[in-house]
């Protein structure tokens, strides 16, 4: 009788412990929240700081997804070049550093164009009041470039 009661108590406890451990391991395996979905992180930041309505959020999502898709092949090309650049820097190989920058520069320029066009599209989707809030901090439209002033209550005053 005691054995049966013990089993009835221990079995659910063991199952609960196992599920808790599996959940904990799964959570630890996930990247930090901001890295899971950069598009969502930028949308959330813009919604919070500019008060985007549902229509604007949809437009921003589409613009960011298109920009990410357009830039994926370029980012894939840049990744090994940047790794090689890091190795050249560590090796103090000036000639290789120069050669790699010659390859990286046009690709980086293409990324900058994609980001600038996306920022322009997002800016165009904003109301005049929201555009005033953005001011010259256009970099915030792509999730960065707003510095410490943004953390203290908004973009710089014009």
| pLDDT value of position 149 | 43
What is the pLDDT confidence band of residue 37, given thresholds at 50, 70 and 90?
A: confident
**Number of domains within the chain:** 1
In a domain, 10, yes or no: no
Tell me the pTM.
0.65
In a domain, 13, yes or no: no
118: domain range?
37-145
pLDDT per residue as tens digits for the range 87-143: 999 999 999 999 999 999 999 999 999 999 999 999 999 999 999 888 888 877 776
In a domain, 125, yes or no: yes
Residue 131 tokens, joined:
């555009």
In a domain, 78, yes or no: yes
What are phi and psi for residue 92, nearest 5 degrees?
55, 40
| pLDDT value of position 142 | 74
Contact (Cβ atoms closer than 8 angstroms) between residue 64 and residue 43: yes
């Amino acid at each position: 009788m005691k054995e049966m009661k013990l089993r009835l108590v221990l079995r659910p406890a063991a199952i609960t412990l196992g599920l808790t451990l599996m959940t904990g391991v799964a959570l630890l395996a996930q990247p930090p929240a901001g890295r899971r979905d950069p598009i969502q992180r930028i949308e959330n930041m813009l919604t919070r700081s500019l008060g985007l309505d549902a229509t604007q959020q949809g437009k921003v999502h589409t613009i960011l997804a298109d920009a990410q898709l357009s830039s994926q092949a370029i980012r894939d090309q840049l990744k090994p070049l940047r790794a090689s650049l890091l190795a050249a820097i560590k090796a103090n190989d000036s000639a290789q550093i120069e050669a790699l920058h010659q390859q990286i520069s046009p690709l980086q320029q293409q990324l900058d164009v994609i980001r600038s066009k996306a920022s322009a599209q997002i800016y165009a989707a904003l109301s005049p009041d929201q555009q005033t809030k953005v001011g010259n901090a256009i970099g915030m439209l792509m999730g960065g470039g707003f510095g410490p002033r943004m953390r203290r209550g908004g973009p710089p005053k014009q």
